[in-house]
Structure 1
Amino acid sequence: SLRWKIELEPWASKSRSLEDEAFRFIKYITTPQLSCRNPADSLPAQGSWAMCLDNRFSLARSINSKHCRVYSLGLGGEDKQMERVLAKAGCEVHCFDPSIREAHLQDSHMWLHRLSIDWRDPNPAVMTQRQHSSTKKLSAVLNHYGHRQ
């Protein structure tokens, strides 16, 4: 007997193109699904994510209670609009990107770190070949900056 039935959506176009399906998916995940009384940015930049700071969400409560820390992982070239909005709202924002020229304080709440985050410790054999490795395990980064809470 049949345990469950999955209802499939009709094709996004008459041509049954995977490109049209991908476009429909991207449109779906980039279209806000909830109403928001307190958007983080009234006019988000093209390609930026919309953020809602309504108190029903934990992000807004964390910002209001001054307990907001954000880790942003990047690989260069990304717009940091979301990170800037969160820093301006009072979050402590740490952007990890191995492609930046040098680590520095961007503004009073946003730090740029020339580092990539990995889920495992670096291989010691590889580490000896690359003395200036810029990869660390997330737990090592948390310990280094004292971000355990």
Structure 2
Amino acid sequence: MGASPRSRAGLAPLLLVPLVVLALQLLAAARLRAEERDAAVAFTVISIEPERRSTGRAGGASAGREGAEEGLEDGARAYEEENQTHERQVGPRVMEMQPWAVNKPSFSAELGRIITYITRPQLNCSRVLPPGKAQAVAPPVASARWLLCAEDWLLPAADRLCVAYSFSAEGGDADFLSAVSRLGCETHSFDPGTSSASVGHPGNSLASNHGNRGVVSQHGLWLEWRAAKRRGHGASRQPGRGFSHGVMAALGHRTVNFLYADRLSAEWRLFQNWIEAGTLQNIHHLVATVHLHWAGFEVGGSDEEVLRYWFSVLRGLEAAGLHLVHSSSGEDQGVLKRAVESAHSSYTLSWVNTRR
């Protein structure tokens, strides 16, 4: 005798119970897996330490040698990896643009601000080394085109290598090269017009000159002002090279004690690159000629915008630790192709790095 309709209706909820229990179990399992995934993400550790690499030869690498510093082919690669690590840790820099001098574009206000800034030393040196002098003297020094601050704490220690670079396209660095050579520095002069080099290096070579103190090595290269592009190891060398990852890395230097630069208006973009790349921490003394007769390579905008950009670059140098110790004006007058009697077309500025 079949079940009555009423009894069949009473059994229906009982038949649904296993289905409901199964659904709840599946839901709980899915939720547990999601919580496990969330926990794994929440406790992920990101390391900012230098990446450790195994550098064993093919077929001979061992897991126990993880992190070994072997396999660096020369000091240049070691230096470059060190700087790449520094860049990863501090992150990219952006040069800060300064506000307008009077809250709006004004040629006279911007020019007055920048001329005042580059003609007023920020640091007094009790002893200085001017061009043509073999020994440091007490200031003032009349008509000196540049000065090196000869305070003991700013000079390289006697038991350490002194390194000097000069970047000049017109050979105006002879007195600087003479001065740093007398100090016993390993000296390198970079001029794209140079076709041969001393100490047997080809004119466009960046072969190291360690140990040849007082000898000037000539290199037929220019200093690239654009941001450096990474090249694979063994890539062909080009006449233009960046600074930290190019010239310094190839020569195996971590510090440049004295640097001279006359880049004929490329200095503004060059300085910006150094500010943003953190290069200035490696330079202790900087002598450079800044040119005001035109905007400079790859610098555009109205005259007021150019002046504001120049001032921002100078303040960026100061923020990096460089302080002006001497200023000397060139012979010509005029700024940005304008006749300006109160300003010269170029100034040679001497800085020292107080954060070295």
TM-score bucket (shorter structure): 0.5 to 0.7
The 1:25–1:143 alpha-carbon spacing in structure 2 relative to 1, beyond 3 Å, is: closer
Cα deviations by residue, 1:60-79 (Å, 9 ceiling, x for unpaired): 1x1534422123333x1252
Q: How many residues align?
A: 126
Q: Distance in 2 between matches of 1:83 and 1:50?
A: 13
Q: What does 1:83-98 align with in structure 2 at a 5 Å threshold?
A: 83-98=177-192
Q: What does 1:58-137 align with in structure 2 at a 5 Å threshold?
A: 60=155, 62-74=156-168, 76-77=169-170, 79-80=172-173, 81-104=175-198, 108-118=214-224, 119-120=228-229, 133-137=238-242
- Which of structure 1's runs of 4+ aligned residues deviate more than 6 A? 6-10
The 1:141–1:28 alpha-carbon spacing in structure 2 relative to 1, beyond 3 Å, is: closer
SS in 2 for 1:64: coil
Q: Distance in 2 between matches of 1:89 and 1:23?
A: 38
The structural deviation recorded for 1:92 is 1.5
Structure whose residues are more often helix by fraction = 2
Cα deviations by residue, 1:39-60 (Å, 9 ceiling, x for unpaired): 01254765x3322110232xx1
Q: What does 1:13-32 align with in structure 2 at a 5 Å threshold?
A: 18=107, 21-22=110-111, 25-32=114-121
Percent of aligned pairs with the same amino acid: 24
| Cross-structure match for 1:35 | 124
**Structure 2: 5+ residue stretches without partners:** 1-97, 131-136, 200-212, 256-356
Question: 48, 51, 59: which is aligned to 2:148?
Answer: 51
Higher Cα Rg: structure 1 or 2? 2
Q: Distance in 2 between matches of 1:114 and 1:144?
A: 14
Q: Distance in 2 between matches of 1:25 and 1:114?
A: 34
CA RMSD of aligned residues (A): 4.0
Letter in 2 for 1:28: Y
Q: Higher relative contact order at CA 8 Å, sep ≥6: structure 1 or structure 2?
A: 2
Give the TM-score normalised by the residue count of structure 2. 0.28
**Structure 1: 5+ residue stretches without partners:** 1-5, 11-16
Q: Is the 8 A contact 2:181 2:187 kept in 1?
A: yes
Q: Distance in 2 between matches of 1:66 and 1:111?
A: 19
Q: Distance in 2 between matches of 1:52 and 1:148?
A: 21
